[in-house]
Each structure stands twice: as C-alpha cells, then as structure tokens.
C-alpha cells in the first residue's frame, strides 16, 4: 500500500504481435478470450475517458489535480491505442472483432456521448454523471491492474510474454493513476448518491459487456467447435488464479461504496513502479525517449 504521489507520464510503448499465438494462454481459450475482451472494450472506452476529461478541465481549481488529470489523459490515450493495435492481429488469425467493437463504439460515442443538451444545468449534470461513471470504472481498472501484476498463475501456464507485458504495463499505470478519477469526482461533485448510482450502472454494464464479449470470442474462434463460455468456467479459472476470483470481485464492491473509500488505500504504487522499471515495452519506450532527447 502506498499513498506517495507520482507525477504521471505516458510511456510511448509499442508491441510486436507476430509471434503471439491465438490462444496466448496455452491450451486455454476461455482464459485467453476472457482477457481478450479488454481489447474490445478499452479502445473506445479509454478514448471516451479522454473526451470527457478534456471537457472537465475548466472545472478544476487545483493545480496538482489538473496536472494529474492531464497525465491521466496521456496515459489513457496510449492504453486505448495499444489495445487497438491487437485487433488486426486477431483478425489475421481469423477472429474478426468488428461486429462487437461496432456496438461498443456506438455505446461510448452515442449513448455516452455529448447529447444535445441546453447549456447550463442539464449539460453540467450529464458531464458530472460521466465523471462519476469514470471514477467507478477506474475502481475496476485498478482492481484488474493489481490482479494482473500478481497473477503468477499466468506465468506458470506459459502465457505469451508480449501479451503479459501489455497487460502488466497497462495494469501498472492503472495502479499508478488509480486516485485521479476519484479525486476529480470528489473535487467537482462528490455527491454520494451519484457515486452509488453510477457504480451500479458501471458494474452492471461491465458484467454484461464482459460475458457477452467472452461468448462472442468463444463462438467465433475458428479453432473451436461450438465454443461456449459459462459462469462455471469463470469461477473455476478464478480459483486457479488465471482470472480474478468471484470472491475478490464481490469483496471489491463494499470497498467502493464505503464512505471512507479512497483508491490510495488499495493496491501498491511501489509494485507498479517496480514493474514499469523492468517492463520490456516501458524500458524500450524510455530508451527511445532518451535517444530522441539526445538527438534534439
Ligand atoms: Fe487505461
Ligand atoms: Fe485508468
């Protein structure tokens, strides 16, 4: 656990996917595809975070928080791009994600988009509602980031190192910036009823989209005949440490709804920063940045 303030910066990572197999958790399409749902949701989802936060910047009256939000925007834009770049690789392997991503794009761009609201209170209400939704979602991105940094069962199963690095680089930055969305929500609004309401929406939407995405991948995986996904599959992988356990997910709920909640009380900044210091993608990004600075 740590509360230390770390200035946020985007690491300009890139990944080469040629050698990553379709089932990058060997012999386990269910775990592979459950985690692959991230590549379906995050490109549009994190672009939407950026879009909303750019609108909220004028409401911030604290210089450090403004810097954090700008750093957060840079990191999320990079996350969105990195997950988006996995999609052509899936398509090359016979798994076209477009039917699903088209729906996710509609959800974030239209349903959760700006709407034509009159200026003043209605517009502000909708902005605050979305800021609160992002805080609730970020509770789960930090939860998942912390989980994947500690998911040694994936290493033991021989999971693809490039995919693990993508997940852990992203997970580490989620842990690193885990307080920003909540601090921003508290700064501009912080209403407890809104926190509870938007948590319920975010949680229900995440469960719905995730099980649907997993079933989509299992049904369309060209190597599987009659590929299915059940809750029992999920529960079993959780017990094996290959996915977050249902118990841990359940326990995370009262945490967010507690009036004493603050993200800094969960996860470890030290662990995140230590991973980023050794992540092959993050190390390569920082070397490229240094050589560019040297050339300038
Ligand atoms: Fe992210
Ligand atoms: Fe995030």
Residue range 211-263, pLDDT digits in tens: 999 999 999 999 999 999 999 999 999 999 999 999 999 999 999 999 999 99
How many angstroms is it from 287 CA to the middle of ligand 2? 24
Q: Which domain holds residue 75?
A: 29-290
How many angstroms is it from 75 CA to the middle of ligand 1? 7
- Tens digits of per-residue pLDDT, 39-85? 999 999 999 999 999 999 999 999 999 999 999 999 999 999 999 99
> Residue 289's pLDDT is what?
87
Residue 5 in domain: no
> Residue 3's pLDDT is what?
52
pLDDT bracket for residue 118 (50, 70, 90): confident
Number of structural domains in the chain: 1
How many angstroms is it from 218 CA to the middle of ligand 2? 27
How many angstroms is it from 127 CA to the middle of ligand 1? 20
- Which pTM value belongs to this model? 0.95
Residue 15 in domain: no
pLDDT bracket for residue 266 (50, 70, 90): very high
Residue 161 in domain: yes
Residue 4 in domain: no
Q: Which ligand is nearest to the CA of 46?
A: 1
Residue 82 in domain: yes
> Residue 4's pLDDT is what?
61
- Tens digits of per-residue pLDDT, 147-171? 999 999 999 999 999 999 999 999 9
How many angstroms is it from 172 CA to the middle of ligand 2? 10
> Which of 104, 177, 180, 175 is CA-nearest to residue 144?
175
Mean of pLDDT over the chain: 95
């Amino acid at each position: 656990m740590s509360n230390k303030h770390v200035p946020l910066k985007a690491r300009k990572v890139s990944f080469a996917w040629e050698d990553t197999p379709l089932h990058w958790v060997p012999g386990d399409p269910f775990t592979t595809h459950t985690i692959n749902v991230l590549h379906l949701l995050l490109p549009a989802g994190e672009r939407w975070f950026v879009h909303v936060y750019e609108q909220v910047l004028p409401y911030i009256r604290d210089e450090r928080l403004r810097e954090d939000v700008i750093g957060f925007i840079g990191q999320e834009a990079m996350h969105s791009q990195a997950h988006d770049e996995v999609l052509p690789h899936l398509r090359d392997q016979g798994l076209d994600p477009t039917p699903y991503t088209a729906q996710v794009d509609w959800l974030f761009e239209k349903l959760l988009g700006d709407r034509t609201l009159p200026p003043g209170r209605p517009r502000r209400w909708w902005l605050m509602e979305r800021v609160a939704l992002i805080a609730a979602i970020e509770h789960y991105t930090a939860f998942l980031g912390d989980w994947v940094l500690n998911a040694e069962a994936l290493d033991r199963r021989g999971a693809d190192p490039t995919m693990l690095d993508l997940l852990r680089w992203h997970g580490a930055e989620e842990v690193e910036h885990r307080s920003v969305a909540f601090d921003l929500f508290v700064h501009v609004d912080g209403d407890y009823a809104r926190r509870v309401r938007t948590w319920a929406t975010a949680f229900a939407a995440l469960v719905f989209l995730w099980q649907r995405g997993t079933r989509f991948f299992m049904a369309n995986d060209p190597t599987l005949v009659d590929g299915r996904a059940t809750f029992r599959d999920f529960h079993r992988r959780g017990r094996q440490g290959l996915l977050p356990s249902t118990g841990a997910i359940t326990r995370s709920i009262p945490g967010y709804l507690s009036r004493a909640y603050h993200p800094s009380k969960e996860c470890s900044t030290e662990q995140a920063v230590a991973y980023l210091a050794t992540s092959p993608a993050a190390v390569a990004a920082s070397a490229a940045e240094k050589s560019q600075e040297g050339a300038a």
